[in-house]
Structure formats: C-alpha cells, structure tokens
Amino acid sequence: MSDAPQDDLPERASYRSILESGPQDYVIQGRYLKQHHAGIADLYLGFLKSLESPHLGFPVDRFEHSLQTATRALRDGRDDEYVFVALFHDVGDALAPANHPEAGAALLRPYIGDDMYWLVRNHGVFQGYYYYHFLGRDRDLRERYRGHPMFEKTAEFCEKYDQAAFDKDYESAPLSAFEPLVRRILSQPPRFVFE
C-alpha cells in the first residue's frame, strides 16, 4: 500500500507492537485491504506481462507461452477457471524460477478450487515428462502421483496445452481477450489460507 494520502481512508492504526493493538486497528486495516484488493487484478496482470522478458532462449517468451497455453485451452472449450489457470500457470516464474509451480500455485490458490490448485502446484513434474530425459533426469517422475484423482487431468493439461505452447507461428488471442474473466475471478473475495 502506498504512503500517499487517501482522502477516503484517512486513518492509520497506531500500535507500536501487535501486543498493543486492538480490534479497531483491524477494522482500519481491513478497509485498506479491501481497497488494495480492488486493484489485485492489475498486479497479477503486471506479473504476467513481466514474463515477456527475458526470453531465456525459449522459442517464444514466457508471456507468449502463457497466452498460447490459455488460447489453446479456450479454443478447446475449457471453462473460465481452467482458462484462468492456463493463463497464469507459469506466473510464479516471474519471481521464483527455481520453484515456479509452487510459487504460482500459492498465488492462484485463494481464487481457484483445490483440484486446479493441485494441477498448478504439480504441473512442473508432469511437464518434465516431455524433456527431463534431455537433462539426465527421470522423465517419469510424475509416476509418483499415479492414482491421484488429478493425475490424468494434469497430464492432459501438459500434453494438450502446456508442452504444445511454444509455437512461434501460433496466433494466440491477445491478453485483452482474457481480461474480463481474469478480473471476474480476481474480484472474488480471496479464500484465505492459514496453515
């Protein structure tokens, strides 16, 4: 939250330690949080756009890969939540290339169901089926999840959309085509995760 004055929210909590705080402070902070949340879609879209650079040597940059994954899912008749997940499945890569599925899944979790959370959280290992062997790794690592209710759906996501979305000649839909569904999903009250 910026320090700029906000006429409609002039108050600030005044405690110096949480031990000193009281319920009224959380009312004040809650009002700011609500205002902050109203702009969350722009933050997420900004993270997504940041995947444009660097291209890291991939045939298409990671933003185009995201658009292409989502476009393929959209054109295949997938529902809004699925397309949203396809669009943002690599968003964790903007800040956390070493564990991007875990980071991205955490970012999306408050807005998606547990099944799609599982898919994003584990898509890296399933995607590995297509290239881990080129790196001397076990391409069948995904087998550790065989029998999980989301195994087939996650394998299908990677086969049909994710691993296929590096085609520089594919005509992806522009980001603007996805914005209404992104804003709709991210305007839901977030599901808080305390664990």
Which residues are near Fe ion by CB under 5 A? Answer: 90, 162
Distance (Å, whole) CA 69 – CA 56: 18
Decide whether 104 or 111 has the Cβ nearer to Fe ion. Answer: 104
Q: Smallest gap, in angstroms, from Cβ of residue 65 to Fe ion? A: 6
Nearer to Fe ion, 100 or 185 (CB): 100
* Whether the Cβ atoms of residue 82 and residue 73 lie closer than 8 Å to each other: yes
Least distance from Fe ion to the Cβ atom of residue 186, Å: 20
Q: Which of 113, 70, 110, 64 has the alpha carbon at shortest distance from 89? A: 70
Nearer to Fe ion, 45 or 104 (CB): 104
Q: How far is the CB of 57 from Fe ion (least distance, A)?
A: 15
Cβ proximity to Fe ion, 25 vs 61, nearer residue: 61
Tokens of 32: 């700011």
Least Å distance between CB 101 and Fe ion? Answer: 6
Q: What is the CA radius of gyration of the chain?
A: 19
**Number of C-beta neighbours around residue 28 at 10 A:** 15
